[in-house]
Structure 1
Amino acid sequence: MRTHRGFLHGNPRGEHGDGLGGGRAGAIDHRGGRGGGGGRIFGHGGLRFVLLQLIADKPSHGYELIKAIEERLGGRYSPSPGIVYPTLTLLEELGYVSVDAADGGGRKRYSVTAAGLDFLAANRATTDEMMARMSGGVDGAGPRAGRPPQVVRALENLKLAMRLRLAAPLTEQQAHEFAAVLDSAAQQLERI
């Protein structure tokens, strides 16, 4: 079985009651950032419910799912492939989606399974809440309104890369190099 180190926050399967891992059953994270800014579009596990619902609505390729989320959020957020594809793999491993690789371009097309439909039905309130959040139904503009989608995507990519790298212990030298990269990025951002 494939391991999603870092992606599932340290637990080998990351299961926390919802069978999908990563925290409270898709709860929305309302924590503000610095200066009271926005939290996350989806709390831990929320993206999994959204992807599964979108696939249930229409079998899709990963790229189509990314674009569908971006469109529903009015361009305020676009999940990175580094988040979406591991989530799709997890959904496949759990038996909630099946993959059809019949596309001539080698792209995988995801379809919901009976187990996936059962899971959505059992978690209808959470799924509906996640879908409403994408439509602005929970708090209007959404937590990241005003942030350019390319900046949000880059931040998500950085967070994923850091989690993956920090999943294993660092040597003293690696820790210094890791800190130097972050310090350099911070200095560059201050100059913009």
Structure 2
Amino acid sequence: MRFFGAGDLRYVILQQIADKPSHGYEIIKSIQEQLGGMYAPSPGVVYPMLTMLEEMGHATVVSDGARKLYTITEEGSKSLAENKAAVEAIFARMDRARSEQGSDRSPQIERAVENFRMALRMKKGPLTTEQIHAITDIIDAAAKQIERS
């Protein structure tokens, strides 16, 4: 699903780091929560955008262990201010999409489900029979707990 138009995600990310310096993964999760779990930009889109913002002088990055922490620059703040109407329109569209989506699940549950999916996708290589059994046991136990709560 293509949720953002050309250039929209740049402003969303700039606003995110203007509100709070963040790591790429935090930005992805924040956008997903703002959209009620109906969409999350992929790392393959967000990280190159962060690099582009840094190269444009709109963001700075500092190493925070193995991760990078992105912060808006004065130039980035100026860009947000110059495009205030467009930025507000993008966030209004995000708010409408979240409310129209009408999910009964909370954004926190949507985030947790997406984290679960990501953990499964990140499991690389062929799994042993023991690993498959362990994963299915964990999933079955979680499903049973949810059914009973």
SS at match of 2:76: helix
Would you say 1:98 and 2:60 are equivalent positions?
Answer: yes
**Which of 65, 75, 79 is residue 115 of structure 1 equivalent to?**
75
CA distance, structure 1, for counterparts of residue 67 and residue 7 of structure 2: 25
Q: How does 1:49-68 map to 2 (within 5 A)?
A: 49-68=11-30
How many residues were matched structurally? Answer: 105
Unaligned runs of 5+ in 1: 1-38, 151-192
Residues 69 and 134, structure 1, Cα contact 8 Å, conserved in 2: no
SS at match of 2:60: strand
Residues 70 and 78, structure 1, Cα contact 8 Å, conserved in 2: yes
CA distance, structure 1, for counterparts of residue 55 and residue 49 of structure 2: 10
CA distance, structure 1, for counterparts of residue 99 and residue 34 of structure 2: 13
Structure-1 residue corresponding to 2:100: 141
Please give the TM-score of this superposition, normalised by the length of structure 2. 0.64
The one-letter code matched in structure 2 to 1:126 is: A
User: What is the alpha-carbon root mean square deviation over aligned residues?
Assistant: 2.2
CA distance, structure 1, for counterparts of residue 19 and residue 13 of structure 2: 10
The one-letter code matched in structure 1 to 2:7 is: G
Taking every aligned residue pair, what percent have the same amino acid on both sides? 52
CA distance, structure 1, for counterparts of residue 68 and residue 80 of structure 2: 22
Shift of 1:135: 1.6
Larger RCO (CA within 8 A; separation ≥ 6): 2
CA displacement 1:31-73 (0-9 Å, x = unmatched) = xxxxxxxx73211110000000010000000000000000000
Please give the TM-score of this superposition, normalised by the length of structure 1. 0.51
Moved over 3 A (4+): none
Structure-1 residue corresponding to 2:40: 78
More helix per residue: 2
SS at match of 1:110: strand
